[in-house]
């Protein structure tokens, strides 16, 4: 029996590289931390990050701002969301997503998910029709990408404005197309637990000039939009600049300086995450009663976290299973809990929106578990943590699953 206790922290990311530290020190020495505080022909760090991210993403425009949650809120506003208007979104997502809808003055209609943790497209089509909603805020929660060809067909048929929440799909693709390049706009996070780490931060990308001009003014550009690196031409702003309020939420040069070198390592890091993911996936999928979400061939994902289901597990068994893992140092999260804990919450705790009936998804979430796979874990660490989960599963999960 495995009695080794897992020694690492599930929330420990890698150290910021010397290159990023040096860049940050340069900004600090300059004293010019505000993105519009530039001298002569100097381009700010934020402006350069925007150009580099637009180029990485393959989008025309990019705006850096305070967080991804903030980005989602202003993206909805810039897309034309009106007060009390409905926004379709996944019921399986993180609290900043319904939060952004609320922040932008909208109301959420939660769409069910299926066993593979992506949107139930029948439910989407039905709710789009019955609600007449104009907006779909598609959250690629935990990096699972729905069949984008089928989704885009519904988007076109129902004339939906699509905004993608790519907090977990920065660097991922569906077919040959990067996640985030399917709709009007996409939002990304550079918060510590995502794929780039500046503590906090968000990026919005789009090919639409007017949308981006409104986003830039909303983000608090003090009419200095001509100092942006990946922005539309000044004439696009001529009316928008006076018709759009300032919701101050800029990124600063310190964070941008830390991020720019990280962007160069992103592709390499994706490979490192996926190596870890595959080790854990191979081991977990052999456990009796455990079901791994299917990942279609078209999906190039980033395995920065891993999910598994134990269908039919009772709440008390789930609690025991998590506790047993915890005793051995493995932090398994569970999406079925009644109370929100840390980063896991669900629609029942978003009481600022009317309660919605999502029975099918509730059943899926009641057997859904989740693990972070930070790059500070070695490949051996990944084997060890998987063995611990296997051991706990054997001990605590009676064979009542409907696998
Ligand atoms: C983290 C996260 C966000 C919000 O990102 P912040 O930068 O923390 O605001 C949005 N959606 C999902 C799915 C996330 O995990």
Pick from 165, 342, 343, 347 the residue to mutate for probing ligand 1's pocket: most ligand atoms within 8 Å of its CB: 165
Q: What angle do CA 235, 101, 173 make, to 5 degrees?
A: 75
DSSP summary character for residue 95 = T
Contacts of 93 (CB under 8 A, 6+ apart): 139, 141, 165
C-alpha to C-alpha distance for 283 and 2, rounded to whole angstroms:
15
Cβ of 97 less than 6 Å from ligand 1: yes
Place of tokens 């922290």: 9
Report pLDDT for 402. Answer: 44
Contacts of 110 (CB under 8 A, 6+ apart): 89, 90, 91, 347, 356, 358
Q: What is the pTM of this model?
A: 0.96
Pick from 139, 172, 189 the residue to mutate for probing ligand 1's pocket: most ligand atoms within 8 Å of its CB: 189
C-alpha to C-alpha distance for 123 and 114, rounded to whole angstroms:
10
Cβ of 142 less than 6 Å from ligand 1: no
Q: Starting at the earlier edge strand, list the strands of the sheet with 86-90.
A: 61-65, 202-206, 185-189, 161-165, 135-139, 86-90, 107-111
In this structure, what token pair is assigned to residue 379?
Answer: 């490949």
Say if residues 91 and 141 touch (Cβ distance below 8 Å).
no
Report pLDDT for 401. Answer: 47
C-alpha to C-alpha distance for 113 and 124, rounded to whole angstroms:
9
Report pLDDT for 95. Answer: 94
Report pLDDT for 322. Answer: 95
| Residues making up the chain, counted from first to last | 403
Give SS3 for 116: coil
Report pLDDT for 4. Answer: 84
117: left (phi over 0), alpha (psi -120 to 50) or beta: left
Report pLDDT for 1. Answer: 52
Cβ of 141 less than 6 Å from ligand 1: yes
Task: Go through the domains of the chain in sequence order and give each one's CATH number.
Answer: 18-263 (3.40.640.10), 266-393 (3.90.1150.10)
Cβ of 67 less than 6 Å from ligand 1: yes
Please, which residues bridge with residue 341 across strands?
A: 344
Cβ of 167 less than 6 Å from ligand 1: yes
C-alpha to C-alpha distance for 299 and 293, rounded to whole angstroms:
12
Report pLDDT for 398. Answer: 64
Low-confidence ranges of the chain (pLDDT < 70): 1-3, 398-403
Q: Which of 274, 231, 204, 197 is nearest to 57 (CA)?
A: 204
Q: Which of 302, 100, 69, 303 is nearest to 200 (CA)?
A: 69
């Amino acid at each position: 029996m495995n009695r080794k206790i897992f020694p690492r922290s599930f929330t420990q990311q890698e150290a910021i590289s010397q290159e990023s530290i040096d860049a940050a020190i340069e900004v600090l020495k300059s004293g010019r931390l505000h993105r519009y505080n530039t001298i002569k022909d100097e381009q700010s760090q934020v402006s350069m990050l925007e150009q580099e991210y637009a180029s990485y993403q393959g989008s025309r425009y990019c705006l850096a701002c305070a967080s991804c949650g903030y980005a989602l809120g202003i993206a909805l506003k810039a897309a034309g969301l009106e007060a009390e208007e409905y926004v379709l979104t996944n019921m399986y997502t993180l609290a900043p997503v319904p939060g952004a809808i609320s922040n932008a003055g909208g109301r959420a209609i939660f769409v069910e998910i299926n066993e593979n943790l992506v949107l139930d497209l029948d439910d989407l089509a039905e709710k789009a029709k019955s609600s007449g909603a104009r907006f779909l805020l598609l959250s690629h929660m935990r990096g699972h990408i729905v069949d984008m060809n089928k989704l885009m067909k519904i988007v076109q048929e129902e004339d939906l404005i699509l905004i993608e929440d790519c907090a977990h799909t920065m660097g991922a693709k569906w077919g040959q197309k990067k996640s985030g390049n399917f709709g009007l706009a996409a939002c990304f996070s550079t918060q510590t637990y995502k794929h780039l780490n500046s503590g906090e931060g968000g990026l919005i990308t789009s090919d639409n000039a007017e949308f981006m001009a409104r986003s830039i003014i909303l983000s608090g550009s003090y009419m200095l939009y001509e100092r942006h690196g990946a922005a539309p031409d000044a004439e696009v702003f001529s009316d928008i600049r006076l018709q759009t309020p300032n919701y101050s939420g800029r990124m600063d040069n310190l964070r941008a300086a830390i991020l720019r070198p990280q962007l160069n390592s992103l592709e390499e890091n994706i490979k490192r995450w996926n190596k870890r993911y595959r080790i854990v996936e191979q081991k977990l999928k052999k456990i009796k009663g455990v079901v791994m979400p299917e990942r279609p061939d078209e999906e190039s994902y980033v395995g920065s976290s891993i999910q598994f289901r134990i269908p039919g597990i009772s709440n008390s068994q789930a609690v025991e299973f998590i506790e047993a893992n915890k005793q051995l140092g493995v932090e398994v999260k569970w999406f079925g809990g009644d109370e929100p804990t840390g980063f896991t919450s669900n629609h029942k705790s978003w009481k600022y929106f009317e309660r919605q009936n999502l029975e099918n998804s509730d059943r899926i979430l009641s057997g859904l578990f989740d693990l972070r796979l930070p790059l500070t874990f070695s490949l051996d660490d990944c084997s060890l943590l998987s063995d611990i989960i296997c051991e706990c599963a054997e001990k605590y999960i009676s064979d009542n699953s409907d696998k």
